[in-house]
Chains A and B, each alone.
Chain A
Amino acid sequence: MTATSLQFKPIPKQTPETNTLTRLCAEKLTLKHGKTSIIENLDVSLPEGKVTAIVGPNGCGKSTLLNGLSRIHSPSSGFVLLDGKDIHSLPSKEVARRLALLPQDTLAPDGITIEELIRFGRHPHQSLLKQWAMDDQQAINYALNAADLEGLKDRLLDTLSGGQRQRAWIAMSIAQETPLLLLDEPTSALDLGHQIEVFELIRNLSRQGKTLAMVVHDLPSACRYSDHIIAMKKGEIITQGSPKEVMTKELVRELYGVECDLIPDPMTGSPILINMKRVRS
């Protein structure tokens, strides 16, 4: 079976009033941890078919936003709209067939193999009396292929390198066959080679028509591997747009209190940060 012979399932019909350019957006979203507001009255939407990078300092609400968008964190007020409908009004399994989330905290059952982990991605497509079908098998083969894990599928998850393990988790989300995929710091704790491996996988998924959003810490990588950047600070979106428009010296100072110069990457043209210095912000 080849990757090209398989396609993602057709996108479900959208309601007429929906903005066709975005399938996932938030309106006046307020998210709280206990009594503390992390995000207040936020409007945001993910551009269709693109990779969106969410950047910002620690504690700015990036992960909370991702959890809010993926209905893990219920809003105190406002809405998250998936295909024009309140995400909390849709059955959770239905949401899981359209939207996958890869959280940072990736606890897995003991003694699980790569293939078994990826099989869990099929959970939203299965039921008590439909435990295994052709489409499950195809989706798993496709995910193994896309994440380049075919040779490792019978290995135990905890015997793999960090990069392979992260690819396995992403493969689980791929097997979920959702048009939308949200990733929370998919490359944190990975070395340079493994980071690039994961970013290239994300790029490939976007070329195949998926809409992706990821929380990223490394600004040059965010610029290089995304089409759209959302910069957040203290629960608010400061600016958003294409990497070239958004990434400026001023933004870096504002976000991180770091003075720097930006030069274009001679090969790709995407911004690179040089001459960085911490200043008081």
Chain B
Amino acid sequence: MINQSLSLPNNEEITTAPNGHRLLSLGRHMTILIEKQAIIRNVWLLILLAIACVATLGIGTMPISPKEVIAVLFGHGNAMSQFIVQDLRLPRLLAALFTGAAFSLAGCLMQTMARNRLATPGIIGIDNAAMAFAVSSVVGMGISLAPSVMALAGAATATALAFGLAGGSGTRGYRFIVAGIGIGAIAGAVTQLLLSQVSIDVANSAYPWTVGSLSARDPMMVSILGIGLVICLVACLLFASQFALMPFSDQVIMGLGANIKYIRIVALILCITLTGLAVAVAGPVGLIALIGPEIARVLARYRGIPLISSALAGALVMILADLFGRTVLSPIELPVGIVTAVIGGPYLIWILVRRTSRTSL
């Protein structure tokens, strides 16, 4: 009797989730809030992504029916289909899936942190610096570490430089962006210089990095990216409630008891990791970081910070862009970086121009 009245002072009231949310109770004191709209949005994106994956695995010089593709994925199908799907097309699909998700997630994080829709890792020069470091390891200048590691080092260096040059203003304000643009330009020039100094064969082997290509990527680097991506996605879920505070002013964030420096460092580390590892696989396909989050925000009706949706939308765009580049002028292949620039550029301009009322992020 006494215990009951102590533990439930208001027992006629039942906790209900706020509008548009579902409450998951895990035991007495553990509750998790889930936004229904985000779940629906992400399930739709996953369905589209699955369709795009099956289509990508089926379309090519040797067409394979969707039914056969699914059979192969479940370990059946004939030997020829198995070879084409599993050995030829699947590695490339995974590279597209992971790089698209990684670039886009990094873009969404960076945009949110800088409170500026232009502030993607590509614009800040992180892509180019990662590329310069990766290329330098391929052409044998400097230390010959694996391109993944070099690309990560490049991404970290560019971010540190942009921070240093931005001075006290941190990631907010234009100094960070302007400094980053400068760093990106220098890194691009360094890449060209490196390539002009080596033999044509070596330059050719480094060429995919400079345009952004998914053709014949190193499976090792794709695996590293896949692992990194999973870790970063989990981190995004764990930090979701703190990342959600980033659009507020520093005073509000600190006033609510959150550690702004800590949140920013975590977000920056995620950006560097995702961008560096993705560049090591595909080169700088920076436009994905602008397009993916933009699609996610439109789908989320500009509410919240759609990190997971950004990753899914980025993966979807990358897969479709690569499929397009692979098939439209077949047998000639267009590098995916060129496709995203040709298709993504105008699309992005359309989105930016169309949206007039909400311009703050």
Contacts and interface: CB of A to CB of B under 8 A. Distances in A.
Interface of A: 1, 67, 70-72, 91-97, 100-103, 105-112, 115-116, 119-121, 123-124, 126, 128-134, 137-138, 140, 154, 176
A112 B20 CA distance: 13
A108 B241 contact: no
B238 A123 contact: no
Given A105-B251, A109-B248, A132 B23 contact: yes
Nearest to B256: A123
A134 B361 contact: no
Interface of A is mostly: loop
A131 B254 contact: no
B254 A71 contact: yes
A72 B189 CA distance: 42
Interface stretch (B10-18, B73-81, B209-217, B315-323): B10-18
A105 B256 contact: no
Contacts of B302: 110-111
A101 to B, nearest CB: 4
Given A129-B26, A131-B241, A137 B16 contact: yes
Given A123-B257, A124-B257, A131-B32, A110 B252 contact: no
B31 interface: yes
Contacts of A72: 250-251, 254-255
B257 A128 contact: no
Given A132-B17, A137-B15, A110 B358 contact: yes
Contacts of B23: 132
B247 A110 contact: yes
A108 B247 CA distance: 6
A108 B30 contact: no
Nearest to B262: A92
26 contacts: A72-B255, A94-B257, A96-B256, A96-B257, A100-B255, A101-B252, A107-B252, A108-B247, A109-B247, A109-B303, A110-B360, A111-B358, A116-B303, A119-B18, A120-B245, A126-B241, A129-B29, A129-B31, A132-B15, A132-B17, A132-B21, A132-B32, A133-B29, A133-B31, A134-B10, A134-B13
A128 B31 contact: no
A128 B247 contact: no
Interface of B: 10, 13, 15-19, 21, 23, 26, 29-33, 115, 238, 241, 244-245, 247-252, 254-259, 301-305, 358, 360-361
A108 B249 CA distance: 8
Contacts of A92: 254, 257-259
B310 to A, nearest CB: 15
Given A71-B254, A94-B257, A115-B19, 17 more contacts: A72-B254, A91-B257, A92-B259, A93-B257, A102-B255, A106-B252, A107-B115, A116-B303, A120-B244, A120-B256, A130-B31, A132-B15, A132-B18, A133-B15, A133-B31, A138-B10, A154-B19
Nearest to A131: B33
Contacts of B247: 107-110
Contacts of B258: 92-93, 123
Question: Which 8 A-B residue pairs are closest in the complex by CB-CB distance?
Answer: A96-B257, A93-B257, A111-B302, A103-B251, A109-B247, A101-B255, A124-B257, A131-B33
Contacts of A103: 249, 251-252, 255
Given A97-B257, A115-B18, A130 B30 contact: yes
Interface of B is mostly: loop
Contacts, number: 113
B238 A128 contact: yes
Contacts of B254: 71-72, 92
A193 B199 CA distance: 76
B252 A129 contact: no
Given A92-B258, A115-B18, A132-B18, A101 B251 contact: yes
A133 B30 CA distance: 9
A102 B251 CA distance: 8
Nearest to A66: B251
Contacts of A138: 10, 13
A115 B17 CA distance: 12
A100 B252 CA distance: 9
Nearest to A100: B255
A95 B251 contact: no
B252 A128 contact: no
Contact of A120 (B29, B248, B301): B248
Contacts of A116: 18, 303
Contacts of B250: 72
Given A119-B18, A130-B30, A133-B15, A107 B241 contact: no
B67 to A, nearest CB: 42
A72 B260 CA distance: 11
Residue among A93, A97, A106, A109 with most chain B CB within 10 A: A109
Contacts of A131: 31-33, 241
B255 A132 contact: no
Contacts of B257: 91-97, 123-124
Nearest to A119: B18
Nearest to B14: A134
B16 A111 contact: no
A56 B32 CA distance: 46
Nearest to A112: B303
Contacts of A137: 15-16, 18
